Amino acid sequence: MSGNRHEPPRRRDTAALVIAAGLVVVGAVMLWDSARLADLGGYSGIGPASVPRVVGFALIGLAAWTAIEALRGDFPQRPPQNALPILWIIAGLALQLMLLHAAGFSIATGILFAFTARAFGKRNLAMTIPIGIVFAFVVWAIFSQLLMLHLPAGPLEHLVFPRG
Amino acid sequence: MSAFEFLMQGLGTAADPMMLLYALIGVTLGTAVGVLPGIGPALTVALLLPVTYRLDPAGSLIMFAGIYYGGMYGGSTTSILLNTPGESASIITALEGNKMARKGRGGPALATAAIGSFIAGLIATLLLAFLAPSIVKLALVFGPREYFALMVLAFVTVSAAFGDSALRGLTSLFLGLALACVGIDQLTGQARLSFGMPELLDGIEVTTMAVAMFALGEALYIAGQRVQVDDEVTAVKGSVWMSRRDWARSWKPWLRGTAIGFPIGAMPAGGAEIGTFLSYATEKKLTKHPEEFGNGAIEGVAGPEAANNASAAGTLVPLLTLGLPTSATAAIMLAGFQQFGLQPGPLLFATNPTLVWGLIASLLIANAMLLVLNLPLIGLWVKLLTVPKPWLYAGILLFATLGTIGANPSAFELGMLLAFGVLGYVMRLFGYPIAPIVVGLILGPMAEQQLRRALSISQGDWTTLVQSPIAAVLLGIAALALIVPLILRARGKGEMLSQLAGEED
């Protein structure tokens, strides 16, 4: 997904070659893992390693096919993409993941909310983070108190619902 | 007991006030997600799976089915008023429907879509009720090899038969099958592809993967688009009621759309889109007003809308009777059954008839609710279309992570969500279809189990797979569905196939 996307068609497609390489890796991992399984085929003659092996070989075959299409430039043109909004969303998800247990659901998810809004054009984080935290807190209260879902509680949640 | 008596009994179950409430929540949510562009019924059911852990199984399943039906109704509203289909089964509706709305005939377009959906939903649900018992009888003679053949057929049609590239369809399918291998082997208890991580022993969580693929992948893709399309909502002018002439021109397309959509939904061919394309083509051929096609012909809205609802009901036939999902939404619903320890299929009709027939009967009720929600209350849904994108997607991501955190509040699970979200984005960017990877993950373990059972019975003799006539025919069709499109594409006739591409719903 990187590199120059305004190439004329019918040229070597590097990104697609990277995909082909990735498929080879996944296929190879499947073959490597299935090799260490004891093959308890029993009556059927096929054991736990058989299906992963077939899928592994199939993925390597598909990788070869992908590489051929990539070299011939048969992959469809990709729409131009902006990297920045995508990174904002990924950063939001990563922060939520890291903060979830320390800061609780509302704060962690509020940050995700604000970062996503920023990716779509609401740039003022000073406004969107508080909105996100309040919204996430309302959602937390409904789902954890009424629907009995286990959602991690942090300082904010303990403040309002001392028994969490 | 006959199907009729079972259905009456089911209506008794479904008329319980709690069940009615679940159905109402389902159809309301379904209409909302159908209306909102970018989220479809498959995603919504996936989001709700963890939330419904503690709820009543029958009620939850009724709610899921309501979401599925509601999504089919709601999608038409977006197509007609915004020219952006709310979900993939409404792409065709946008062709004529939006033209009608621009001419100030948005009201009749919405009405013919809603009434057509109602009639198609009614007929198709009754067909489901009366066909199900005979298919169940047939399915009782199915052994492992027939089930295996059926699943192979589903794999091929979902991944390779339609869409613009067999390569990308198959790659997506095999990635799903690879992910399906992760975890403890069901027959021998050996850990596969778990790399010593205990979190992986239970396998990849279907809901995590589906939510990541549909919600995160889509959000990243839309966020990255350099050209932000600003859609304008066409206001509904005048009456929503149809004139005498509109009725006269609509009723035949409704019935034809139902007749086309139902069997296509019931076949393992992946999704409701195909029926809508065929219905549109039929109406275009049969119309007495060919000059109106492309400029807002009411037949072009009535037929496809009936077809997409009929095929939604059609998909429930193989799902309930065989346990075989033929669309992404049906696949997620299967995961919903499994969450409650229920395995849809012929046995469920014997062991839990109250639940199955309650579910079928509640579809009739949901259908009637949807007619009310979509005609007099249409103004409400139109307002939904004006929610600004930043808030919409921020909310979608909030609920997407809520579902995963609710099921398993671990950093590992959220990490998987993020990883699959990025995978979903890359797949979208490079034109890989999403449905095959989800279907592969869900059906993969079932297909493997049936294959190994079949071969255990035959003591390792592979010819057993084609010795039963049913299995041989199914595998034959699967082979044709793989080879014929390859030849068509090689001869440069692939355009038609890519137009029939199945998308995520």
Q: Please report the pLDDT score of residue A40 as a whole number.
A: 63
Q: What is the DSSP letter of B458?
A: T
Instruction: Map residue B227 onto helix, strand or coil.
Output: coil
User: Is A84 domain-assigned?
Assistant: yes
Q: What is the pLDDT of residues B183-237, one digit of tens each?
A: 888 777 888 888 878 888 888 888 888 889 888 888 898 888 876 665 666 766 6
Residue A44 is nearest to which of B177, B425, B460, comparing CB atoms? B460
What gap in Å lies between CA B139 and CA B146, rounded to an integer?
A: 9
B275 pLDDT more than 60: yes
Give the residue-averaged pLDDT of B125-153: 88
- Counted residue by residue, chain B has a size of 505
* Mean pLDDT, all residues of chain B: 84
Same domain, A106 and A55: no
Same domain, A65 and A47: yes
Same domain, A111 and A48: no
Same domain, A70 and A83: no
Same domain, A58 and A108: no
Q: Please tell me if residue A31 touches chain B, with a CB cutoff of 8 Å.
A: no
Q: What is the DSSP letter of B235?
A: P
Q: Residue B184 belongs to what H/E stretch?
A: strand B183-184
Q: pTM of this prediction?
A: 0.85
Q: Is the dihedral of CA B392, B395, B400, B401 positive or negative?
A: positive
Q: Please report the pLDDT score of residue B232 as a whole number.
A: 66
User: Is A54 domain-assigned?
Assistant: yes
Tokens 């409704």 sit on residue: B254
Give the residue-averaged pLDDT of B257-276: 77
Same domain, A59 and A100: no
B290 pLDDT more than 90: no
Domain end among A41, A58, A77: A77
Q: What is the pLDDT of residues B314-364, one digit of tens each?
A: 888 888 988 888 777 888 888 888 888 888 888 888 888 888 998 999 999
B39 pLDDT more than 80: no
Q: How many domains does chain A have?
A: 2
Same domain, A94 and A146: yes
Check residues B426 and A149 and name the one with the higher pLDDT.
B426
What gap in Å lies between CA B216 and CA B77, rounded to an integer?
A: 24
Domain boundaries, position A44: 13-77
First to last CA, chain A: 44
User: Is A37 domain-assigned?
Assistant: yes
Cα–Cα distances in angstroms (integers) from residue A18 to residues A62, B254, B327, B392, B467, in the given order: 13, 48, 30, 34, 43
Pairs across A and B, CB distance < 8 A: 203
Output phi, psi for B192, to 5 deg.
Answer: -115, 140
Q: Residue B192 belongs to what H/E stretch?
A: strand B191-192
pLDDT averaged per 10 residues, chain A (length 164):
46 86 94 80 74 93 93 82 92 93 91 93 88 92 80 85 68
User: Is A158 domain-assigned?
Assistant: no
Q: Please report the pLDDT score of residue B504 as a whole number.
A: 40
B502 pLDDT more than 70: no
Q: What is the DSSP letter of B200?
A: G
* Helices B353-374 and B106-140, axial angle in degrees (round to 10): 170
Q: Please report the pLDDT score of residue B48 as a whole number.
A: 79
Check residues B142 and A43 and name the one with the higher pLDDT.
B142
Domain boundaries, position B188: 3-501
Same domain, A22 and A67: yes
B181: left (phi over 0), alpha (psi -120 to 50) or beta: alpha
Q: Please tell me if residue A100 touches chain B, with a CB cutoff of 8 Å.
A: yes
Please return the burial class of B232, using the count of CB atoms within 10 Å of its CB with bins 0-12, 13-18 and 19+.
exposed
What gap in Å lies between CA B93 and CA B131, rounded to an integer?
A: 29
In this complex, do A94 and B226 lie within 8 Å of one another by their Cβ atoms? no
Give the residue-averaged pLDDT of B29-49: 81
The region of weakest confidence among B117-126, B147-156, B191-200 is B191-200
Q: Please report the pLDDT score of residue A116 as a whole number.
A: 93
Residue B394 is nearest to which of A29, A62, A132, comparing CB atoms? A132
Q: Please report the pLDDT score of residue A61 as a whole number.
A: 95
Per-residue pLDDT band for B424 (boundaries 50, 70, 90) equals very high
In this complex, do B414 and A80 lie within 8 Å of one another by their Cβ atoms? no
Residue B193 is nearest to which of A33, A79, A136, comparing CB atoms? A33
What gap in Å lies between CA B196 and CA B109, rounded to an integer?
A: 58
Q: Please report the pLDDT score of residue B163 as a whole number.
A: 67
Chain A residue nearest residue B388, CA to CA: A120
What gap in Å lies between CA B351 and CA B355, rounded to an integer?
A: 9
B500 pLDDT more than 60: no
Q: Which residues of A touch B445 (CB under 8 A)?
A: none
Q: Taking the mean position of all CA atoms in its chain, how far away is CA A53? A: 26
* Helices A50-72 and B166-180, axial angle in degrees (round to 10): 150
User: Is A85 domain-assigned?
Assistant: yes
In contact, B492 and B270? CB cutoff 8 Å: no
B447 pLDDT more than 80: yes
Q: Which residues are bridge partners to B192 per DSSP?
A: B183
Residue A143 is nearest to which of B192, B406, B459, comparing CB atoms? B406
Give the residue-averaged pLDDT of B153-174: 83
Please return the burial class of A138, using the count of CB atoms within 10 Å of its CB with bins 0-12, 13-18 and 19+.
exposed
Q: How many domains does chain B have?
A: 1
Same domain, A36 and A97: no
Per-residue pLDDT band for B503 (boundaries 50, 70, 90) equals very low
In this complex, do A151 and B409 lie within 8 Å of one another by their Cβ atoms? yes
Same domain, A104 and A147: yes
Output phi, psi for B462, to 5 deg.
Answer: -70, -25
Same domain, A37 and A70: yes
Q: Please tell me if residue B178 touches chain A, with a CB cutoff of 8 Å.
A: yes
Same domain, A124 and A135: yes
Q: Please report the pLDDT score of residue B85 as a whole number.
A: 64
Three-class secondary structure assignment of A108-129: HHHHHHHHHHHHCCCCCHHHHH
Cα–Cα distances in angstroms (integers) from residue B48 to residues A120, B43, B214, B296, B435, in the given order: 25, 9, 14, 37, 19
